[in-house]
Amino acid sequence: MREQYPLLPQSAAQSIANSLNIAYPVYPGTKVPFVMTTDFLVTLRQPDGSERLVARTIKYTESFASGRRLERTLQKLKIEREFWKNRNIDWNVVTEENIPATLSSNLDWFRKGATLKRELQQRALIVSFLDEVKSMREFQWPLDRMLKSIAKSLFIPYGDAKNIFMHLVWNKNIILDLVAERLMMKSVFLIADILYPSEDSRYESRAS
């Protein structure tokens, strides 16, 4: 999942705006165009193992209330729609009415793991961490107890273990049910699946 994904090349978005007779967005008080973004670009794994991309823009329903800003909001959304349509990528707008409250709360919590310190991105550490999680699935421990045990086994601080776990959930290496209940450190996490990073993943191999 990638946040605030830029609509690049910018010339493509500008060309779409021109074709729609829409003024391309610029920085206030200037003529300098800014790079438009889509809130989320998500890689979905299909049942057959293949992957596909979907783009989603997040808006509060109040953004579509009648008023002088509505027309401009719709214009920008039209540019986004055409940008992704030209790339054969599914795009849609999501509002708070489309997202269950429990899912929204859990996503807000795990979003803290979107970034991870570089020294914690070593492939060997990530694989060892997933091995530990896998070995504890049947214990049904609360998350804080599980992370304390993993931290001890891997000789890392508890805070680092927590950050790695949040990151792996956010990046769908650890698959959880984020809809059933609001998750907390004292929750017993039912892990649906564990997906190990591929050899060519973004995680780094430590130099010898």
Q: What is the pTM of this model?
A: 0.60
Q: Is the pLDDT of residue 99 over 50?
A: yes
Average pLDDT for 122-134: 95
Average pLDDT over residues 142-163: 96
Domain boundaries, the chain: 2-94, 101-194
Distance, CA of 173 to CA of 197 (rounded, Å): 7
Return the pLDDT at 130: 96
* Least confident window among 50-54, 125-129, 144-148, 204-208: 204-208
Q: 2-94 and 101-194 share one CATH topology?
A: no
pLDDT score recorded for residue 207: 37
Q: Is it the case that residue 7 has pLDDT exceeding 90?
A: yes
pLDDT score of 208 more than 60? no
- Round to whole Å and give the CA distance between 94 and 182: 20
Q: Mean pLDDT in the chain? A: 88
Q: Tell me the per-residue pLDDT of 162-188, one tens digit each, with 9 for 90 and over.
A: 999 999 998 889 988 888 888 999 998
120 compared with 107, residue with greater pLDDT: 120
Interval 101-123 mean pLDDT: 88
- How would residue 201 be classed by pLDDT, with cut points 50, 70 and 90? low
What class has domain 2-94? alpha beta
pLDDT of residue 202: 65
For 14-26, how does the pLDDT look when each residue is reduced to its tens digit (9 = 90+)?
999 999 999 999 9
Tokens 């039209």 belong to residue: 78
The CATH fold assigned to 101-194 is: Arc Repressor Mutant, subunit A (1.10.10)
